[in-house]
Structure 1
Amino acid sequence: METTFALSYAISKQLAAATTVTTGYGDIPLDDEMRAALDAALRTILKRRLNQIIVNIQPQGA
């Protein structure tokens, strides 16, 4: 299960530092263009998932 910490860490640290995509068939080195595309795609998904967790842990009536 994803946690708020794991998602926040991915957004704030890991995306900016990504240099490689690792697959079952080997690594794909990322250049600047690929890094920007990966960041744009994943940041949107990670933020949506983080916000969903935050909404679900808010007390009722808050």
Structure 2
Amino acid sequence: MSVIYVLIPIAILFVIIGLGVFFWAVRARQFDDLDKEGFSILFDENNADSSKQPHAPQDKPPQ
């Protein structure tokens, strides 16, 4: 029964830490744009840069 007196303050401490991290994330605007990262894999932002890169050497020369 005396273990309860130790576990309850530890549980309360974990809840306070969790709420602190959640409110920090909200204040740091971590949840503002949830779709941006999902769409970023669909579009290639380096279209202009890809034409400037040299092509990989081929195994056989063109005939």
Would you say same fold, with TM above 0.5? Answer: no
TM-score with structure 2 setting the length? 0.38
Where is the helix percentage greater, Structure 1 or Structure 2? 1
Structure with the higher strand share, 1 or 2: 1
Bigger Rg, structure 1 or 2:
2
